[in-house]
Amino acid sequence: MHDMSGHAAVHHGEPTSFIHKHVFSLDHKVIGKQYYGLALVAVLIGMVLSWLMRIHLGWTNYAIPGLHLLSANGAPGNVMTPEYYLQLMTMHATIMVFFVLTTAPFAAFGNYFLPIQAGAEDMPFPHFNMMSFWVTFTGFLVLVASFFVSDGPTLGGWTQYAPLSALGPVGGPGEGWGVVLWATSIAIFCVGQLLGSLNFITTTLDMRCKGMSLWRLPLSAWGWFITSCMGLTAFAVLMPGCILLILDHVAGTSFFVPSNLVLNDQLQPHSGGSTLLWQHLFWFFGHPEVYIAIVPGMGIVSHVLITNLRRPMLSHRVLVYSMGALGVLSYMVYGHHMFVSGMNPVSSLAFSFPTLVITIPSTIVVLIWLGSLYGAKIRINAASLFALGFISMFISGGVSGFFLAQPSTDIMLHATYFVVGHFHLVMGVAAMFGIFAGTYFWFPKMYGRMMNETLGKIHFWCTFVGAYAIFMPFHYLGLAGNVRRYQAFVADYMQPLIPLHQFITVAALFTGAVQVIFLYNLIHSRFAGQQATDNPWQATSLEWSTPTTPPPHNNFGDTLPEVFHDPYQYGVQGSAGDYVMQTSPEQVNSPHDEA
């Protein structure tokens, strides 16, 4: 398996043509940046969709100028129709979950930095890697294409519950071609992520340089490794699920449609399928997906924090074991999405216990972070602020999980805004904070220029306060019984909640708008930022010891590095100050050695 000397099997010469250098590149760094670019485009679309939804939820009859340009049928007179709201909602969620929260923290940063942190010159299967991106990109195009088919994208939500999703156009607008394109897009996406996961796992296991034992990998690399193991199994279940769904549409099968359904007074020509089968397949993927979105963030945030705490975590290994436990347990808890689905009520209890138990590794991770802050010398910068913000968001989103883990309390909160608040904080906002922390931290290495710190801090403050202003009230709405996925609140008891929705809308518009600061900072710094040194944060891991910044095509020049230390030798008196790089052969008596 691993001979601790690095492999040269992946060697591919530096391309000279524009196409091979920037478009169909085999270089993991370029592929990482491509993934980041895709995520950036996707998040902008997703955010604009959320604005449109929020405006509609606050002021249902408000005519949004120009909306009819997006869809003449969906917004006659610029006022959103009920079905168009659901279509935008479905696209918002699908784009965000798949093409932002999975691609940015995992595929983008992981591609760029996993091989470098492991001390490899590239991934073992560069062609697979290139395919992984372009397949994912194709999946994105297929999804966006559904905006342009006759009755628009699907309205079935990102969960696409059958039989609504499997019946075809009779189910409603977007339930024909919209669903087929959705399922095709996701199936393609799964292929891309499977290829990526294979590469990540092999890079971690087989491509490490001399001296780089598994325990010497930084926590970010561990995050990506654990995530890729999850990706390999989770996407492998969703993909056949999507294929079966497509077959129900185009091949006359009835995997997810039972007999005797009547729509528009017409008995449907299906029989023998199971609606719960889709839910099982979907959530067997769906719950690990939550961790696929957040575990890379945990790794990135730990990595960023350590550098800014100037000390390693209380325990490197406990963090790794906890992240691994989250990964394993994430497969045993998926039934908590189905407590009131008609699944056997005994199963609800069986799924409830592991769901409650998963709070233990999560708590360990948080306590290790908190314990590591103790006695540190925290450097405050945009990256560390977002990393600390991540901890706060993860806690806030995590504690609401207690309610949803129990079937009895879930009766009151299932399908309400409480759930929406919970997953937005713990997986949406927290993961976004991980992406921001990673961006501010690694941008200098990726582009050779520093990002503007002042703008970064303004961006943090506005986003931090804004995100809480948006998502905390979601929990209150849920407690009051406000059902999610409603385009208007016509039930008598929901009408008093509309002012709170309007407050949320204003907060969402503000928080979305301040992202322009980030975008400006990103683009401006790319071209006009202050030149970065090779190691601007005085960090220890391998990405900071590349011969040039950005790293050369083969990452480390002619010879692969040799590693002599654990990844986080901070708080020691080395020749370079309070830290010793992994590549430095000097002896270290670390005050933080693990037993």
Rule CB under 8 A: choose which of 247, 472, 509, 517 binds other proteins.
472
Q: Which is nearer to other proteins, 420 or 446 (CB)?
A: 420
538 touches other proteins by CB under 8 A = no
Query: What torsion do the CA atoms of 279, 102, 93, 286 make, to the nearest 10 degrees?
Result: 10
- Among candidate residues 157, 192, 169, 143, the one with its CA nearest the CA of residue 250: 169
Site for other proteins in 182-221 (CB under 8 A): none
511 touches other proteins by CB under 8 A = no
Site for other proteins in 294-353 (CB under 8 A): 310-311, 313-315, 318, 340-342, 345, 348-349, 352-353
Q: How many CA atoms lie within 13 A of 513 on its CB side?
A: 6
9 touches other proteins by CB under 8 A = no
Give the number of residues in contact with other proteins, rule: CB under 8 A. 114
Kindly state the smallest distance separating residue 484's Cβ from other proteins, in Å: 8
Asked if 213 contacts 166 with a C-beta cutoff of 8 angstroms, the reply is: no
* CA 509 to chain CA centroid, nearest Å: 22
Asked if 80 contacts 64 with a C-beta cutoff of 8 angstroms, the reply is: yes
Q: How many CA atoms lie within 13 A of 46 on its CB side?
A: 23
Kindly state the smallest distance separating residue 173's Cβ from other proteins, in Å: 6
Q: Is the peptide bond before 354 cis (omega within 30 degrees of 0)?
A: no
Which window, 4-12, 398-406, 535-543, 579-587, contacts other proteins (CB under 8 A)? 398-406
Q: How many CA atoms lie within 13 A of 242 on its CB side?
A: 24
Site for other proteins in 227-246 (CB under 8 A): none
- Which amino acid belongs to residue 10? V
Kindly state the smallest distance separating residue 121's Cβ from other proteins, in Å: 35
Q: Which is nearer to other proteins, 45 or 391 (CB)?
A: 391
Kindly state the smallest distance separating residue 450's Cβ from other proteins, in Å: 18
The binding track of 431-470 with respect to other proteins, each residue x by CB under 8 A or -, is --------------------------x---x--xx--x--
514 touches other proteins by CB under 8 A = no
What are 266's strand-pairing partners?
263
Rule CB under 8 A: choose which of 388, 435, 451, 542 binds other proteins.
388
Rule CB under 8 A: choose which of 243, 357, 514, 588 binds other proteins.
357
Q: Is the peptide bond before 65 cis (omega within 30 degrees of 0)?
A: no
Q: Which is nearer to other proteins, 386 or 556 (CB)?
A: 386
Per DSSP, the three-state class of 573 is: strand
506 touches other proteins by CB under 8 A = no
Which window, 33-41, 373-381, 503-511, 540-548, contacts other proteins (CB under 8 A)? 373-381
What are 483's strand-pairing partners?
416
532 touches other proteins by CB under 8 A = no
Kindly state the smallest distance separating residue 106's Cβ from other proteins, in Å: 26
Phi/psi of residue 173, each to 5°?
-60, 135
| DSSP calls for 484-543 | SS-SS--SGGGGGGHHHHHHHHHHHHHHHHTHHHHHHHHHHHHHHSPBP-S-TT---SGG
399 touches other proteins by CB under 8 A = yes
Rule CB under 8 A: choose which of 65, 265, 558, 575 binds other proteins.
265
Rule CB under 8 A: choose which of 138, 202, 253, 363 binds other proteins.
363
The binding track of 132-171 with respect to other proteins, each residue x by CB under 8 A or -, is -----------------------xxx-x-xxxx--x---x
Q: Which is nearer to other proteins, 141 or 411 (CB)?
A: 411
Rule CB under 8 A: choose which of 378, 506, 509, 588 binds other proteins.
378
Rule CB under 8 A: choose which of 102, 136, 204, 275 binds other proteins.
275
Rule CB under 8 A: choose which of 77, 250, 492, 589 binds other proteins.
492
d(CA 336, CA 423): 13
Which window, 48-56, 129-137, 409-417, 436-444, contacts other proteins (CB under 8 A)? 409-417
Q: Which is nearer to other proteins, 1 or 490 (CB)?
A: 490
Q: Which is nearer to other proteins, 123 or 470 (CB)?
A: 470
- Which amino acid belongs to residue 541? S
d(CA 255, CA 277): 8
C-alpha distances in angstroms, 497 versus 58, 385, 422, 480, 493?
Answer: 10, 33, 18, 8, 8
Q: Which is nearer to other proteins, 209 or 295 (CB)?
A: 295
Rule CB under 8 A: choose which of 48, 243, 356, 506 binds other proteins.
356
CB atoms within 10 A of CB 412: 12
CB atoms within 10 A of CB 77: 8
Rule CB under 8 A: choose which of 20, 44, 81, 328 binds other proteins.
81
C-alpha distances in angstroms, 379 versus 307, 309, 323?
Answer: 9, 6, 25
Q: Which is nearer to other proteins, 109 or 423 (CB)?
A: 423
Q: Which is nearer to other proteins, 352 or 541 (CB)?
A: 352
Q: Which is nearer to other proteins, 191 or 261 (CB)?
A: 261
Site for other proteins in 19-78 (CB under 8 A): none
Site for other proteins in 547-576 (CB under 8 A): 570-571
377 touches other proteins by CB under 8 A = yes
Asked if 397 contacts 472 with a C-beta cutoff of 8 angstroms, the reply is: no
Rule CB under 8 A: choose which of 4, 411, 513, 519 binds other proteins.
411
C-alpha distances in angstroms, 329 versus 127, 290, 380?
Answer: 33, 12, 34
Asked if 193 contacts 288 with a C-beta cutoff of 8 angstroms, the reply is: no
588 touches other proteins by CB under 8 A = no
Q: Which two tokens stand for residue 124?
A: 């073992």
Q: Which two tokens stand for residue 452?
A: 């503007």
In sequence order, what are the residues at sequence separation of 6 or more whose Cβ sits closer than 8 angstroms to the Cβ of residue 477?
416, 417, 418, 421, 497, 500, 501
d(CA 408, CA 427): 24
